[in-house]
Amino acid sequence: MRGDQVIDFANIAYLFLDRDGVLNRKPPEGRFVTRWEEFELLPGVAHAIAELNRSRRKVIVVTNQRGVALGLYSQQDLDRMHAHLRERLAVHGARLDAIYVCPHDDGECNCHKPQTGLIEQAFRDFPEAHPQNSIMVGDSFRDIEAGLRLGMPTVFVNADAGDSIEAKRATVLADLTLASLPELVHHYICARKL
């Protein structure tokens, strides 16, 4: 954990999740998930989200989708992927409360993480959400930086990032580093008290 920061998991009511690398397998650097057939939900993610739903926490996806700006897939393609994702989760009794997407390229907007526009929009749409009762969960330095800019606790999911410079930076800055979303949910947020 970063410094003396302690996350009060009992107080966390809103989870902000990056998509690629947290919910689904992240493609290799420079590649994009362009259609549903390439979308591979990570093991245990649906069950973890269902557990969060049962605990009455809100699950909100905030995702950079630069592939739209690059012309690799359209906003409609992305909407279809997310509709399929919601259907797949529903089979397991899980749901996403919202999905916020930045379709822009780097430097074109205030919503492309590490900018904070996506999370700020969610705070407007969910008026009871604020940095003290929310957490940012992501697999990149950009995700962690976005959360920190708003004063949110952060969790770095380092399943595929390995020992890259970005991963090392994220590990240093994040409040907690774990291997997966299910680990966070089952061992910290919804952990059974003995």
Q: How far is CA 73 from CA 31, 32, 34, 70, in A?
A: 12, 9, 6, 8
Task: Check if 143 is active-site.
Answer: no
Task: Check if 20 is active-site.
Answer: yes
Q: How far is CA 6 from CA 126, 138, 176, 184, 188, in A?
A: 25, 18, 9, 14, 12
Tokens of 113: 């993480």
Question: Which residue in 4, 18, 160, 163 is the catalytic one?
Answer: 18
Question: Which residue in 4, 8, 20, 97 is the catalytic one?
Answer: 20
Tokens of 111: 């919503």
Q: By the 8 A CB rule, do 67 and 73 touch? A: yes
Amino acid at 58: K
Calculate the dihedral angle through the C-alpha atoms of 51, 16, 127, 131, rounding to the nearest 10 degrees.
110
Provide the 10 A C-beta neighbour count for residue 160: 16
Q: Which residues are designated catalytic?
A: 18, 20
